Chain A
Amino acid sequence: METIAFYRESVIKTYGLAERTDLCLVTIALPSDRMGDWGTVLADLTARLDVSLLLLLARPLPANGLRLLLLLDKSPSGRERMEAEQVFLDEFQAPWRVDQAVELVYFQGPHYGDRYGIASAALNALDVQNVPVLAMACTGASVYLITPEGKARLAREALGKAFMTPETEKQETGI
């Protein structure tokens, strides 16, 4: 069964733009054929580092690999991080890349998962304003954009021009 939906929006609506700053992005290239092993190591990671996971994404790499990105709420301390990284290095020859102080802008909107053009509009908005993007995930009705340090505010401003937020809607309608 198929349900057809019309969206009469001159500007794509969001439920609001949010941002987080001072985050930590850990990137690891892992062997796909050893996921059973590194999945177990990964399971202990947030407890070992005393951090919280905000976002995770992964994509395949050529030659049987998976690049895993973990966005954490803070940078793990030096010693804990070195110990955790060593496990990945020893077991899977997978050194970490750590981007400190990265930032996150995210938003949701009505039925985004079923609508075309959302990711394109977001990327285009940032491109027009020359805002660099480290990573992007669109899943369900949510869009997440990870930017380098100091760029979330610019990203939010750029997205605010391309998407309608409750604030801009209020200004437009006076309600």
Chain B
Amino acid sequence: MDTPIQKFSVGGLKLSTELIQIQLFSNAPVPLNEIFRRLTDRQINLTGVSLEAIDGQLTGICCLASEDRGRAEHVLQPFEGSFELRSPVGTLTIFPHLSRLELIGQILSALGRIGLPVYGLASSHSSLTITTDYHRLDEAVSAICRLVTLPDNHAPFRPEFRVKQL
């Protein structure tokens, strides 16, 4: 059993509901703006987006709620071969990370040691969001809780309601 030397203080952990990840292929000429426009037209929210153009063309991953899968598949049909859907995935958000790469590295290391897949990472100024297997979110929480201390009376939480824009 791992015994961390130092525990990091964080404000909280938040878990997502069940999500679908769209993974855009970097070697396919994906009309990204067109895909995003079509998803917008069908009022499909992307809960997270990570894109990069290191190879020249903007590509990457984005997530959407699992209940939007059918509509998204319909929207994405013309672009078949340019993407892959991965499901179910879930996200775990840690806040605040306070730009501590030490914390982030230790978390990734801990998740790697238990063989947890990481399908995406994205930070903001305050939070770090890790995308992994939805069915293994509890394992991820257990691994992370061995590294961090949470405020009293805080437990990792799942959203109890969903806000949907019309």
- Give Cα distance in the complex from A135 to B161, angstroms: 31
Residues A4 and B164 in contact, CB atoms below 8 Å apart: yes
Interface contact A2-B121, CB-CB below 8 Å: no
Question: B106 and A43: CB pair below 8 A?
Answer: yes
Alpha-carbon separation in the docked complex, A162 to B47 (Å): 21
Chain A 66-81, CB-CB to B under 8 Å as 1, else 0, gives 1111100000000000
> How many interface contacts (CB-CB < 8 Å) are there between A and B?
199
Instruction: Classify chain A's interface size.
Output: 35 or more
The dominant DSSP class at the A interface is mixed
Give the number of residues in B that approach A within 8 Å (Cβ atoms).
Answer: 60
A86 at the interface (CB under 8 A from B): no
B37 near A137 (CB under 8 angstroms)?
Answer: no
Contact A56 B109 (CB under 8 A): no
Contact between chains at B45 and A114 (CB < 8 Å): yes
Contact: B165 with A139, CB < 8 Å? no
Contact indicator A37/B101 (Cβ below 8 Å): no
User: A-contacting residues of B (Cβ < 8 Å)?
Assistant: 23, 26, 32-33, 36-37, 39-40, 43-54, 58, 60-62, 93, 99-113, 117-129, 160-166
Q: Can you name 30 A-B pairs with beta carbons within 8 Å?
A: A6-B166, A27-B54, A36-B109, A37-B112, A38-B109, A39-B107, A39-B108, A39-B109, A39-B111, A40-B109, A42-B101, A42-B104, A42-B108, A43-B106, A46-B102, A47-B102, A53-B101, A57-B121, A57-B123, A59-B60, A113-B47, A115-B165, A116-B43, A119-B49, A123-B33, A127-B33, A137-B122, A138-B122, A139-B124, A140-B127
